[in-house]
Structure 1
Protein backbone atom coordinates (compact mmCIF):
# COMPACT_ATOMS: atom_id res chain seq x y z
CA UNK A 1 0.00 0.00 0.00
CA UNK A 2 2.72 2.38 -1.06
CA UNK A 3 2.17 5.68 -2.85
CA UNK A 4 1.75 5.42 -6.59
CA UNK A 5 3.85 6.91 -9.33
CA UNK A 6 3.55 10.39 -7.85
CA UNK A 7 0.35 11.32 -9.70
CA UNK A 8 -1.92 12.82 -7.09
CA UNK A 9 -5.42 11.74 -8.08
CA UNK A 10 -7.49 14.41 -6.40
CA UNK A 11 -10.34 13.75 -8.86
CA UNK A 12 -12.23 11.14 -10.97
CA UNK A 13 4.04 -1.16 9.71
CA UNK A 14 5.97 -2.03 12.76
CA UNK A 15 5.85 -1.24 16.55
CA UNK A 16 3.25 0.57 18.62
CA UNK A 17 4.00 4.15 19.54
CA UNK A 18 5.67 4.41 22.94
CA UNK A 19 3.54 6.16 25.50
CA UNK A 20 0.27 5.51 23.66
CA UNK A 21 -2.79 4.54 25.65
CA UNK A 22 -3.91 0.90 25.80
CA UNK A 23 -5.83 -0.20 22.72
CA UNK A 24 -9.17 -1.93 23.36
CA UNK A 25 -9.67 -4.69 25.85
CA UNK A 26 -6.32 -6.32 26.34
CA UNK A 27 -5.04 -5.22 22.92
CA UNK A 28 -1.36 -4.35 22.99
CA UNK A 29 -1.23 -3.18 19.38
CA UNK A 30 -2.87 -3.75 16.04
CA UNK A 31 -0.96 -4.37 12.83
CA UNK A 32 -1.78 -4.68 9.15
CA UNK A 33 -0.39 -6.30 6.05
CA UNK A 34 -1.33 -4.70 2.75
CA UNK A 35 -1.01 -6.25 -0.69
CA UNK A 36 -1.06 -3.88 -3.66
CA UNK A 37 -1.57 -5.07 -7.23
CA UNK A 38 -1.71 -2.94 -10.36
CA UNK A 39 -4.46 -5.06 -11.89
CA UNK A 40 -5.60 -5.37 -15.46
CA UNK A 41 -8.92 -3.55 -15.59
CA UNK A 42 -10.83 -6.54 -16.96
CA UNK A 43 -9.55 -8.76 -14.13
CA UNK A 44 -10.61 -6.61 -11.16
CA UNK A 45 -13.98 -8.27 -10.55
CA UNK A 46 -12.38 -11.73 -10.65
CA UNK A 47 -9.81 -10.53 -8.14
CA UNK A 48 -12.49 -9.17 -5.82
CA UNK A 49 -14.38 -12.48 -6.01
CA UNK A 50 -11.26 -14.48 -5.16
CA UNK A 51 -10.41 -12.27 -2.19
CA UNK A 52 -14.01 -12.37 -0.95
CA UNK A 53 -14.72 -16.07 -1.46
CA UNK A 54 -11.34 -17.68 -0.76
CA UNK A 55 -8.82 -15.39 0.89
CA UNK A 56 -11.02 -13.62 3.43
CA UNK A 57 -12.48 -16.77 4.96
CA UNK A 58 -9.08 -18.45 5.12
CA UNK A 59 -7.44 -15.47 6.81
CA UNK A 60 -10.29 -14.99 9.28
CA UNK A 61 -9.76 -18.57 10.44
CA UNK A 62 -6.12 -17.82 11.29
CA UNK A 63 -5.24 -16.96 14.91
CA UNK A 64 -5.08 -13.22 15.49
CA UNK A 65 -6.74 -12.04 12.28
CA UNK A 66 -9.25 -9.29 13.11
CA UNK A 67 -10.45 -8.30 9.68
CA UNK A 68 -9.84 -7.56 6.04
CA UNK A 69 -10.66 -4.89 3.49
CA UNK A 70 -10.09 -4.29 -0.21
CA UNK A 71 -9.82 -0.97 -2.04
CA UNK A 72 -10.24 -0.75 -5.82
CA UNK A 73 -9.51 2.03 -8.29
CA UNK A 74 -11.34 0.91 -11.42
CA UNK A 75 -9.88 3.70 -13.57
CA UNK A 76 -6.21 3.02 -12.87
CA UNK A 77 -6.38 -0.64 -11.80
CA UNK A 78 -4.81 -0.12 -8.40
CA UNK A 79 -6.13 -2.69 -5.89
CA UNK A 80 -5.14 -2.86 -2.22
CA UNK A 81 -6.15 -5.74 0.05
CA UNK A 82 -5.34 -5.27 3.74
CA UNK A 83 -5.57 -7.75 6.60
CA UNK A 84 -5.49 -6.65 10.26
CA UNK A 85 -3.90 -8.58 13.13
CA UNK A 86 -4.03 -8.38 16.92
CA UNK A 87 -0.24 -8.62 17.26
CA UNK A 88 2.95 -8.53 15.24
CA UNK A 89 3.50 -12.18 16.17
CA UNK A 90 0.15 -13.24 14.73
CA UNK A 91 0.77 -11.35 11.52
CA UNK A 92 4.22 -12.82 11.02
CA UNK A 93 3.02 -16.34 11.89
CA UNK A 94 0.39 -16.12 9.14
CA UNK A 95 2.86 -15.30 6.38
CA UNK A 96 3.58 -18.84 5.16
CA UNK A 97 -0.13 -19.58 4.73
CA UNK A 98 -0.96 -16.17 3.30
CA UNK A 99 1.79 -16.10 0.68
CA UNK A 100 0.30 -18.66 -1.76
CA UNK A 101 -3.09 -16.92 -1.64
CA UNK A 102 -1.43 -13.57 -2.27
CA UNK A 103 0.45 -14.96 -5.25
CA UNK A 104 -2.73 -16.49 -6.65
CA UNK A 105 -4.61 -13.20 -6.26
CA UNK A 106 -1.84 -11.36 -8.10
CA UNK A 107 -1.93 -13.98 -10.85
CA UNK A 108 -5.71 -13.58 -11.25
CA UNK A 109 -5.38 -9.80 -11.48
CA UNK A 110 -2.49 -10.03 -13.91
CA UNK A 111 0.44 -8.47 -12.10
CA UNK A 112 2.89 -8.89 -9.24
CA UNK A 113 2.00 -8.09 -5.65
CA UNK A 114 3.72 -5.53 -3.44
CA UNK A 115 3.52 -6.32 0.28
CA UNK A 116 3.85 -3.84 3.16
CA UNK A 117 3.45 -4.13 6.92
CA UNK A 118 2.04 -1.39 9.13
CA UNK A 119 1.19 -0.36 12.64
CA UNK A 120 -2.35 0.99 12.98
CA UNK A 121 -1.80 4.16 14.98
CA UNK A 122 -5.29 5.72 14.85
CA UNK A 123 -8.71 4.30 14.02
CA UNK A 124 -12.10 5.92 14.55
CA UNK A 125 -15.52 4.80 13.29
CA UNK A 126 -18.57 7.01 13.21
CA UNK A 127 -20.88 4.34 11.78
CA UNK A 128 -20.66 1.11 9.74
CA UNK A 129 -20.07 1.16 6.01
CA UNK A 130 -22.55 -0.11 3.44
CA UNK A 131 -22.43 -1.05 -0.22
CA UNK A 132 -21.22 1.90 -2.27
CA UNK A 133 -18.81 3.26 0.35
CA UNK A 134 -15.63 4.90 -0.94
CA UNK A 135 -12.21 5.75 0.49
CA UNK A 136 -9.86 8.67 -0.02
CA UNK A 137 -6.31 7.58 0.85
CA UNK A 138 -3.38 9.93 1.43
CA UNK A 139 0.25 8.82 1.66
CA UNK A 140 2.77 11.01 3.48
CA UNK A 141 6.44 10.91 4.40
CA UNK A 142 7.41 11.79 7.98
CA UNK A 143 10.64 12.31 9.92
CA UNK A 144 11.14 9.74 12.66
CA UNK A 145 11.76 12.36 15.34
CA UNK A 146 8.48 14.11 14.46
CA UNK A 147 6.24 11.03 14.33
CA UNK A 148 4.61 11.50 17.73
CA UNK A 149 3.71 15.06 16.79
CA UNK A 150 2.30 13.93 13.44
CA UNK A 151 0.10 11.29 15.09
CA UNK A 152 -1.17 13.81 17.63
CA UNK A 153 -2.00 16.34 14.89
CA UNK A 154 -3.96 13.66 13.06
CA UNK A 155 -5.79 12.48 16.15
CA UNK A 156 -6.47 15.80 17.90
CA UNK A 157 -6.50 18.30 15.03
CA UNK A 158 -7.59 16.55 11.84
CA UNK A 159 -9.91 13.80 13.04
CA UNK A 160 -12.55 16.10 14.59
CA UNK A 161 -12.64 18.09 11.34
CA UNK A 162 -12.97 14.91 9.27
CA UNK A 163 -15.95 13.86 11.35
CA UNK A 164 -17.76 17.02 10.23
CA UNK A 165 -17.38 16.14 6.54
CA UNK A 166 -20.51 15.02 4.73
CA UNK A 167 -20.88 11.24 4.63
CA UNK A 168 -17.95 10.54 6.96
CA UNK A 169 -17.85 6.89 8.09
CA UNK A 170 -14.39 6.29 9.51
CA UNK A 171 -10.73 7.26 9.42
CA UNK A 172 -7.50 5.41 10.07
CA UNK A 173 -3.79 6.16 10.13
CA UNK A 174 -1.25 3.42 9.45
CA UNK A 175 2.47 3.99 9.87
CA UNK A 176 5.69 2.27 8.84
CA UNK A 177 8.39 3.54 11.16
CA UNK A 178 11.27 2.03 9.18
CA UNK A 179 10.42 3.60 5.82
CA UNK A 180 8.96 6.82 7.22
CA UNK A 181 5.72 6.37 5.27
CA UNK A 182 2.19 6.71 6.65
CA UNK A 183 -1.20 6.39 5.00
CA UNK A 184 -4.48 7.95 6.06
CA UNK A 185 -7.71 6.35 4.83
CA UNK A 186 -11.00 8.24 5.16
CA UNK A 187 -14.18 6.33 4.32
CA UNK A 188 -17.37 7.99 3.05
CA UNK A 189 -20.92 6.71 2.64
CA UNK A 190 -20.77 6.95 -1.14
CA UNK A 191 -18.91 8.44 -4.08
CA UNK A 192 -21.19 11.49 -4.17
CA UNK A 193 -20.28 12.45 -0.61
CA UNK A 194 -16.59 11.88 -1.31
CA UNK A 195 -16.79 14.08 -4.39
CA UNK A 196 -18.62 16.89 -2.60
CA UNK A 197 -16.01 16.95 0.18
CA UNK A 198 -12.95 17.20 -2.08
CA UNK A 199 -12.36 20.91 -1.57
CA UNK A 200 -12.77 20.68 2.21
CA UNK A 201 -10.55 17.60 2.32
CA UNK A 202 -7.90 19.35 0.22
CA UNK A 203 -7.79 22.29 2.63
CA UNK A 204 -7.68 20.03 5.66
CA UNK A 205 -4.89 17.97 4.12
CA UNK A 206 -2.75 21.02 3.39
CA UNK A 207 -3.15 22.53 6.85
CA UNK A 208 -2.71 19.16 8.56
CA UNK A 209 0.46 18.37 6.62
CA UNK A 210 1.88 21.77 7.51
CA UNK A 211 1.07 21.39 11.20
CA UNK A 212 2.36 17.81 11.33
CA UNK A 213 5.52 18.54 9.36
CA UNK A 214 4.89 15.79 6.80
CA UNK A 215 5.19 15.67 3.02
CA UNK A 216 2.14 14.57 1.03
CA UNK A 217 3.21 11.99 -1.56
CA UNK A 218 0.01 10.78 -3.16
CA UNK A 219 -3.78 11.00 -2.93
CA UNK A 220 -6.10 8.43 -4.47
CA UNK A 221 -9.82 7.68 -4.34
CA UNK A 222 -11.11 4.10 -4.18
CA UNK A 223 -14.22 1.99 -4.11
CA UNK A 224 -14.42 0.05 -0.84
CA UNK A 225 -15.00 -3.33 -2.45
CA UNK A 226 -14.76 -5.41 0.74
CA UNK A 227 -14.86 -4.54 4.44
CA UNK A 228 -14.97 -7.06 7.26
CA UNK A 229 -13.20 -5.52 10.25
CA UNK A 230 -13.19 -6.13 13.98
CA UNK A 231 -10.33 -3.77 14.83
CA UNK A 232 -10.94 -1.85 18.08
CA UNK A 233 -11.29 1.91 18.30
CA UNK A 234 -7.92 3.67 18.64
CA UNK A 235 -8.18 7.43 19.19
Structure 2
Protein backbone atom coordinates (compact mmCIF):
# COMPACT_ATOMS: atom_id res chain seq x y z
CA UNK A 1 0.00 0.00 0.00
CA UNK A 2 1.21 3.51 -0.81
CA UNK A 3 0.12 6.83 0.64
CA UNK A 4 0.36 10.26 -0.93
CA UNK A 5 0.35 13.00 1.70
CA UNK A 6 -0.21 16.70 1.27
CA UNK A 7 0.65 19.37 3.82
CA UNK A 8 -0.65 22.90 3.20
CA UNK A 9 -0.34 26.07 5.24
CA UNK A 10 -2.18 29.34 4.85
CA UNK A 11 -4.29 32.07 6.40
CA UNK A 12 -6.47 30.56 9.15
CA UNK A 13 -9.26 32.94 8.14
CA UNK A 14 -9.50 31.14 4.78
CA UNK A 15 -9.21 27.53 5.92
CA UNK A 16 -12.93 26.81 6.22
CA UNK A 17 -13.49 27.70 2.56
CA UNK A 18 -10.85 25.18 1.53
CA UNK A 19 -12.20 22.50 3.86
CA UNK A 20 -15.73 22.99 2.52
CA UNK A 21 -14.45 22.56 -1.04
CA UNK A 22 -12.52 19.42 -0.13
CA UNK A 23 -15.51 17.97 1.73
CA UNK A 24 -17.68 18.54 -1.32
CA UNK A 25 -15.34 17.08 -3.96
CA UNK A 26 -12.38 15.11 -2.62
CA UNK A 27 -13.99 11.73 -2.04
CA UNK A 28 -15.80 11.79 -5.36
CA UNK A 29 -12.59 12.61 -7.21
CA UNK A 30 -10.54 9.98 -5.39
CA UNK A 31 -13.01 7.10 -5.51
CA UNK A 32 -13.19 7.48 -9.26
CA UNK A 33 -9.52 6.57 -9.59
CA UNK A 34 -8.33 2.95 -10.05
CA UNK A 35 -6.57 1.54 -7.01
CA UNK A 36 -8.08 3.94 -4.46
CA UNK A 37 -7.98 2.53 -0.92
CA UNK A 38 -8.74 5.39 1.46
CA UNK A 39 -8.48 9.06 2.38
CA UNK A 40 -7.98 11.21 5.44
CA UNK A 41 -8.44 14.99 5.72
CA UNK A 42 -7.15 16.76 8.83
CA UNK A 43 -7.04 20.42 9.87
CA UNK A 44 -5.53 22.77 12.41
CA UNK A 45 -7.88 25.73 12.12
CA UNK A 46 -6.07 27.82 14.72
CA UNK A 47 -2.66 27.84 13.05
CA UNK A 48 -3.87 27.35 9.47
CA UNK A 49 -2.75 23.88 8.40
CA UNK A 50 -4.34 21.15 6.30
CA UNK A 51 -2.93 17.63 6.11
CA UNK A 52 -4.35 14.87 3.97
CA UNK A 53 -3.40 11.42 2.84
CA UNK A 54 -4.77 9.24 0.05
CA UNK A 55 -4.14 5.47 0.05
CA UNK A 56 -3.39 3.46 -3.11
CA UNK A 57 -2.97 -0.24 -3.80
CA UNK A 58 0.23 0.19 -5.85
CA UNK A 59 2.92 2.70 -6.77
CA UNK A 60 1.48 2.90 -10.27
CA UNK A 61 -2.01 3.68 -9.00
CA UNK A 62 -0.53 6.43 -6.84
CA UNK A 63 1.35 7.96 -9.76
CA UNK A 64 -1.59 7.75 -12.15
CA UNK A 65 -4.01 9.30 -9.67
CA UNK A 66 -1.59 12.11 -8.89
CA UNK A 67 -1.30 12.97 -12.57
CA UNK A 68 -5.08 12.85 -12.99
CA UNK A 69 -5.95 14.90 -9.90
CA UNK A 70 -3.15 17.38 -9.24
CA UNK A 71 -4.64 20.25 -11.25
CA UNK A 72 -8.03 20.00 -9.53
CA UNK A 73 -6.35 19.53 -6.15
CA UNK A 74 -4.40 22.75 -6.65
CA UNK A 75 -7.57 24.61 -7.61
CA UNK A 76 -9.43 23.40 -4.51
CA UNK A 77 -6.59 24.52 -2.24
CA UNK A 78 -5.78 27.77 -4.03
CA UNK A 79 -7.98 30.11 -1.96
CA UNK A 80 -6.21 29.00 1.23
CA UNK A 81 -2.82 27.45 0.62
CA UNK A 82 0.27 29.63 0.70
CA UNK A 83 2.56 26.59 0.78
CA UNK A 84 1.97 23.01 -0.32
CA UNK A 85 4.23 19.97 0.13
CA UNK A 86 3.45 16.56 -1.38
CA UNK A 87 5.18 13.33 -0.33
CA UNK A 88 4.79 9.64 -1.20
CA UNK A 89 5.23 6.91 1.41
CA UNK A 90 5.06 3.16 1.81
CA UNK A 91 2.39 2.17 4.34
CA UNK A 92 4.59 -0.20 6.33
CA UNK A 93 2.21 -0.98 9.23
CA UNK A 94 -1.38 0.06 9.81
CA UNK A 95 -4.34 -0.89 11.96
CA UNK A 96 -7.42 -2.48 10.43
CA UNK A 97 -9.82 0.22 9.23
CA UNK A 98 -11.94 1.62 12.06
CA UNK A 99 -14.64 4.30 11.97
CA UNK A 100 -13.86 7.77 13.28
CA UNK A 101 -16.35 10.59 13.37
CA UNK A 102 -15.57 14.19 12.40
CA UNK A 103 -14.13 15.84 15.50
CA UNK A 104 -11.86 12.90 16.25
CA UNK A 105 -8.22 13.78 16.90
CA UNK A 106 -5.18 13.02 14.76
CA UNK A 107 -1.57 13.13 16.00
CA UNK A 108 1.31 13.12 13.52
CA UNK A 109 4.98 12.52 14.33
CA UNK A 110 7.63 12.96 11.64
CA UNK A 111 11.08 11.47 12.14
CA UNK A 112 14.41 10.67 10.49
CA UNK A 113 16.10 7.28 10.60
CA UNK A 114 19.04 5.53 9.00
CA UNK A 115 17.54 3.70 5.99
CA UNK A 116 19.37 0.55 7.10
CA UNK A 117 17.30 0.54 10.31
CA UNK A 118 13.86 0.96 8.75
CA UNK A 119 13.04 -2.76 8.74
CA UNK A 120 13.87 -2.95 12.46
CA UNK A 121 11.64 0.08 13.07
CA UNK A 122 8.79 -1.61 11.19
CA UNK A 123 9.09 -4.70 13.38
CA UNK A 124 9.27 -2.62 16.58
CA UNK A 125 6.20 -0.63 15.54
CA UNK A 126 4.26 -3.79 14.69
CA UNK A 127 5.30 -5.74 17.76
CA UNK A 128 5.56 -3.09 20.49
CA UNK A 129 4.41 0.42 19.59
CA UNK A 130 1.11 -0.32 17.89
CA UNK A 131 -0.04 -2.78 20.60
CA UNK A 132 1.05 -0.24 23.23
CA UNK A 133 -0.95 2.55 21.60
CA UNK A 134 -3.89 0.20 21.35
CA UNK A 135 -4.03 0.12 25.15
CA UNK A 136 -4.53 3.90 25.38
CA UNK A 137 -8.15 4.90 26.02
CA UNK A 138 -9.87 6.26 22.94
CA UNK A 139 -7.33 4.86 20.45
CA UNK A 140 -8.88 4.26 17.01
CA UNK A 141 -6.00 3.52 14.66
CA UNK A 142 -2.27 3.84 14.06
CA UNK A 143 -0.11 3.92 10.96
CA UNK A 144 3.61 3.88 10.19
CA UNK A 145 4.60 5.39 6.85
CA UNK A 146 8.19 5.15 5.62
CA UNK A 147 10.33 6.57 2.86
CA UNK A 148 13.16 4.06 2.60
CA UNK A 149 15.25 6.01 0.11
CA UNK A 150 15.31 9.19 2.19
CA UNK A 151 15.31 7.64 5.67
CA UNK A 152 12.11 9.26 6.84
CA UNK A 153 9.13 8.00 8.82
CA UNK A 154 5.72 9.36 9.77
CA UNK A 155 3.51 7.96 12.52
CA UNK A 156 -0.16 8.86 12.55
CA UNK A 157 -2.56 8.01 15.36
CA UNK A 158 -6.28 8.73 15.57
CA UNK A 159 -8.24 9.04 18.81
CA UNK A 160 -11.97 9.04 19.41
CA UNK A 161 -12.35 12.76 20.14
CA UNK A 162 -10.40 15.83 21.22
CA UNK A 163 -10.61 14.85 24.90
CA UNK A 164 -9.16 11.40 24.19
CA UNK A 165 -6.43 12.97 22.06
CA UNK A 166 -5.48 15.30 24.91
CA UNK A 167 -5.53 12.51 27.49
CA UNK A 168 -3.31 10.33 25.27
CA UNK A 169 -0.43 12.83 25.14
CA UNK A 170 1.34 11.55 28.23
CA UNK A 171 0.98 7.81 27.54
CA UNK A 172 2.01 8.18 23.91
CA UNK A 173 4.95 10.42 24.87
CA UNK A 174 6.14 7.66 27.22
CA UNK A 175 6.04 5.11 24.39
CA UNK A 176 7.86 7.51 22.10
CA UNK A 177 10.56 8.30 24.68
CA UNK A 178 11.21 4.62 25.31
CA UNK A 179 11.20 3.41 21.73
CA UNK A 180 12.54 6.24 19.55
CA UNK A 181 16.13 6.17 20.89
CA UNK A 182 16.20 2.38 20.82
CA UNK A 183 15.06 2.39 17.20
CA UNK A 184 17.56 5.07 16.18
CA UNK A 185 14.80 7.52 15.38
CA UNK A 186 15.23 11.31 15.50
CA UNK A 187 11.85 12.97 15.99
CA UNK A 188 11.53 16.15 13.89
CA UNK A 189 7.96 17.27 14.51
CA UNK A 190 4.88 16.56 16.61
CA UNK A 191 1.53 17.97 15.51
CA UNK A 192 -2.16 17.53 16.23
CA UNK A 193 -5.15 18.01 13.97
CA UNK A 194 -8.93 17.66 13.90
CA UNK A 195 -10.26 14.81 11.74
CA UNK A 196 -12.46 16.25 8.99
CA UNK A 197 -12.87 13.13 6.81
CA UNK A 198 -11.67 9.57 7.35
CA UNK A 199 -12.54 7.03 4.67
CA UNK A 200 -10.98 3.59 4.99
CA UNK A 201 -13.44 1.14 3.40
CA UNK A 202 -13.44 -2.13 5.33
CA UNK A 203 -13.39 -4.28 2.22
CA UNK A 204 -10.23 -2.53 1.09
CA UNK A 205 -8.21 -3.34 4.21
RMSD: 1.5
Aligned to 1:200: 171
The alpha-carbon deviation at position 112 of structure 1 amounts to: 3.1
**Aligned with 1:155 (options 117, 123, 126):** 126
- Are 2:54 and 1:83 aligned? yes
Aligned to 1:27: none
In structure 2, distance between residues paired with 1:205 and 1:104: 38
Which structure's residues are more often strand, by fraction? 2
- Are 2:133 and 1:133 aligned? no
> What is the TM-score when the length of structure 2 is the normalising length?
0.94
Which structure's residues are more often helix, by fraction? 2
- Are 2:64 and 1:93 aligned? yes
**Aligned with 1:182 (options 144, 153, 158):** 153
Aligned to 1:23: none
Number of residue pairs matched by the alignment = 204
- Are 2:184 and 1:213 aligned? yes
The alpha-carbon deviation at position 95 of structure 1 amounts to: 2.1
In structure 2, distance between residues paired with 1:144 and 1:184: 16
> What is the TM-score when the length of structure 1 is the normalising length?
0.82
After superposing the two structures, state which structure 1 stretch, 222-231 or 177-186, moved more.
Answer: 222-231
**How far does the alpha carbon of each residue in 1:137-171 deviate from its partner, in whole angstroms, 9 at most, with x for none?**
11110101111111111110111110010100000
SS in 1 for 2:196: strand
SS in 1 for 2:149: coil
In structure 1, distance between residues paired with 2:127 and 2:67: 38
1:85 and 1:138, CA in 2 relative to 1: closer, same or farther beyond 3 A? same
Runs of 4+ in 1 over 4 A off after TM superposition: none
- Are 2:144 and 1:170 aligned? no
Conservation of the 8 A alpha-carbon contact between 1:125 and 1:169: no
- Are 2:85 and 1:109 aligned? no
After superposing the two structures, state which structure 1 stretch, 125-134 or 149-158, moved more.
Answer: 125-134
In structure 2, distance between residues paired with 1:105 and 1:39: 13
